Structure 1
Amino acid sequence: MSTLFFHESEFEGNACRISVANYLAFLSLRGPELAIEVAKIRQALAAPSRKHLERDISLLLRARNWRFHNIACVAIACTEASSQLLEELWSCIKRGSWTSPQLAATAEMVDKDFGRRAVHLIEDQATYFKSIVALAALLEARHSTESQLSAAARSNLDEAKTIDRDNSGSIATAWNGNLRAAFGAA
């Protein structure tokens, strides 16, 4: 993926692309290395035009690789999310990812219309199950609205919970707290 978040390198004599930041530091969004890795993302965001930046974050969100999604979450938290970036983020949440909880947590922090959009995706049976569980948990934790879900949304959530073995709701709420702590959001 040729974006501002990767640079050309070589490993064992083969050309490869290396992330500018260690995406593993973004999995828990805690630890002593977090500030250093966030600073690397901020540095990558400093140079390009807004159009270039949005294109590259969109490319990360369109990729199927969860590592790219994790980098995109931090990049979005570092910048003001435009309506285009929010659309890309919500599309990625609907499609699903191993990092759906982190994507949902990011949307909760940056999108003022989170509640309405989250309910819409929970009601949509085409939404990835981990995303449904994560969105519902964030609605309950941050907006106190999970209990007000429609019958269709409640049914989708119950089904999603039966197949979610990773406790996506807990991951989303914990990551949201860590994201808010790392980026100073209330």
Structure 2
Amino acid sequence: MALDQFGPFAVMFEEGELDVPGYLRLLHLHTPESQIVIDRVERALSAGDPARWVAALFRDADWRPHLVGAIALLLDQGETLDRNLLWCAIDSGSWVTPQLIVAAVFVDPSFPEKARVRVDEQCPVLVPVSLTPAERHSATGPDGLLGRRAKMLASILAASASIRSLERWASDLQRDVRIEHLLKEDEWNGSDKIVASWMTNVRRAFLERGHILAPKAT
């Protein structure tokens, strides 16, 4: 992961006044230091050419830039950045798929359609093939292909509970034998719990900044 490709966003991978690299504070968003990192993202967005740098964050195979990119999209009140970048990272089996799915709920009005398509197809994932096994483990996490599909499925169904038009659909799917089988593959990851926790924490973090996050779709 070459930091110079991220331009002004490279600071998110440094410690600075923090005791850990900034992006780590975005994983859970449950400490006051999270606001310091969100401030960094906001400043980077104002530094010029944000579309270029945010696209670079999501094009990287590593999950760490994806997390930073998700916050950038949530801060993009003018909606000038490409929302499809989130889905590209999700479809690549990103380790932070639960967080990316939550971000998609709040920034993408076409979330219901995109969620249904992926679940109907059993959540296919295309993991980058240009990485060595060691690089893949570091960049995308320890899950195998089945585990990544299960993570996407569990995340989508959990997040769908916050969208009125998807509530019944998601609830009914829980009783589908094929869906139930795939969801069991995610039990050790607990992606549904990550979705619930990150959704609560990101809403709280943005409310502290004067922004109310609400699903773009109804």
The percentage of counterpart residues that share the same residue type is: 27
- Once the two structures are superposed, residues 21-52 of structure 1 have per-residue CA deviations (whole angstroms, 9 ceiling, x without a partner) of 6011101112110111111111111121xxx2
Conserved 8 A contact 1:133-1:157:
no
Distance 2:111 2:29 in 1: 21
Runs of 4+ in 1 over 6 A off after TM superposition: none
Q: Counterpart of 1:59?
A: 56
Tell me the C-alpha RMSD between the 2 structures.
Answer: 2.5
Once residues 146 and 43 of structure 1 are traced to their aligned partners in structure 2, the CA distance between those partners, rounded to angstroms, is 37
SS in 2 for 1:141: coil
What are the residue-to-residue correspondences of 1:41-60 with 2, within 5 Å? 41-48=41-48, 52-60=49-57
1:179: Cα distance to partner?
1.6
Q: Is the 8 A contact 1:130 1:168 kept in 2?
A: yes
Is 1:178 the counterpart of 2:201? The answer is yes
Whole-angstrom CA distance in 1 between matches of 2:89 and 2:154 = 15
Amino acid at match of 2:10: F
Amino acid of the structure 1 residue aligned with 2:185 = I
Cα 1:62–1:105, aligned 2, differ >3 Å: closer, same or farther?
A: same
Match of 1:131 in 2: 152
Q: Secondary structure at the match of 2:23?
A: coil
Matches within 5 A, 1:70-85: 70-80=67-77, 81-82=79-80, 85=82
Unaligned runs of 5+ in 1: 8-16
TM normalised by structure 1 equals: 0.81
Look up the match of 1:141: 162
Tell me whether 1:161 sits opposite 2:183 in the alignment.
Answer: yes
* Alpha-carbon separation, structure 2, partners of 1:182 and 1:132: 26
Provide the C-alpha distance between the structure 2 equivalents of 1:168 and 1:104, rounded to a whole number of angstroms. Answer: 10
Any conservation in 1 of the 2:14–2:22 contact (CA below 8 Å)? Answer: no
Q: Specify the alignment match of 1:34 in structure 2.
A: 34
- Between 18-27 and 95-104, report the one with greater CA deviation: 18-27
Contact 2:73 2:83 in 1 (8 A): no
CA distance in 1, matches of 2:165, 2:193: 15
CA contact (8 A) 2:150 2:183 kept: yes
The residue number in structure 2 matching 1:13 is none
How many pairs are equivalent? 172
Counterpart CA distance in 2 for 1:97 and 1:146 is: 25
Question: What is the Cα deviation at residue 145 of structure 1?
Answer: 2.2
Decide which moves more: 175-184 or 68-77: 175-184
- Cα deviations across residues 82-128 of structure 1 (Å, max 9, x unaligned)? 4x621111121122211000000000011112112111111123143
Which is strand-richer, 1 or 2?
Answer: 1
Counterpart contact for 1:130–1:160, Cα < 8 Å: no
SS in 2 for 1:28: coil
Letter in 2 for 1:132: L
TM, length-normalised to structure 2: 0.70
Bigger drift between 25-34 and 118-127 goes to 118-127
